[in-house]
Structure 1
Amino acid sequence: MKTTLFSLIMMLFFGTSVFAQEQKTPDSGLGFGFQINQFQDDFAFGLNLTSPEILNGNAAIRLKANQSYFEHLLDGEYVWSGYQNLSLGFVGFGGKVGQGIRLYGEGGLVGIFPSEKFSSEKFRMSTYGTFGFEFFPTPAFNYFIELGVMTSRARADKIAGSPFFSNGFVASVGFRVNLKK
């Protein structure tokens, strides 16, 4: 499984690099997209909205909404209980690798809305930080990969052992459509 995932990422990387040779700069208007995430051991998917670039094209503001699933035992069976999170972050663009790959860092606040099936909390505020790579096959479209951390320390206190959820290592992949400014 890991070998297959690594192969797919490498094909995406090299395939995007070939198409990106013609591209000069990404469109810097409003961006919107879709992502698949892993928050510690929790699977998630969601939507993202990125502001037009600010500070001479060096930064943006990003809003993300995710539907997440925490796997746990309930009445002797493993189940996935859904919960949501909403994040608002500042994105700083750190430079380009070649013409079609842009590096960035992102950090901000995240609000977590746990399920009553596994947590007695209704809401938890936290922070997150990621580093990412955007691959631009065209100025109006990009794929991205993000790796980072979420510092929620959220616990599933209704589950034996009170395991952490939505805490620790974060990985995201997805795409964005970027509208012209």
Structure 2
Amino acid sequence: MCLAAANTSLTGGQQAVYLFSCWQWSLVLDCDLHEPAERRSAEARCRRAAFLAGDCPLSPPAVLDQLPGVAAERSWSQCAAAQLDGPAGAADRCRRLDEAAARLLACRLGQYTGSGGRLELGRLRADVSASPGAAELKQAALQLVDECGRRAGSHVDKFVDCWAKRGIMTCAVAEAAQRAGEYQPC
């Protein structure tokens, strides 16, 4: 993914910074993704929670806030009933953040959840296709919907988990591109 997303207009030094940063994050995220959820480290859970609630190119807020009707139907604040509950213990803070972010996303997908709690992938796909924004991001979001739809079927929780696993790499690419852009040779 790092090479495919590389900006060819970067200088040689910037490309080196980009590739090193992207590959470094890719290795960390690859370890996170292959760890079973019940054994996932606190750091991995915090990274996943940050993606689910963040602003990486394929983070749920970046995608869902572009869809017609979703922002008005179920805003992040309206879904806040799924926020953290219980005492704030540092030991399980990241686990609770991760779980809360996943519940918030499931709530936001409520507009696409039919009877029996089944995700209506056709409607979600149609709204992603009709959303404003960059064609490249829209295509990536459609690929994510298709892949996660195949893997998760119409189970909302499985779809959310797939979205986190597949989309989090966009954070690595975005951060690496930012670092590369900031690089100034001596």
- The structure with the largest helix share of the pair is 2
> TM tier, shorter chain?
under 0.3
Q: Which has the higher contact order (CA 8 A, sep 6+)?
A: 2
- The structure with the largest strand share of the pair is 1
Give TM-score, length-normalised by structure 1.
Answer: 0.28
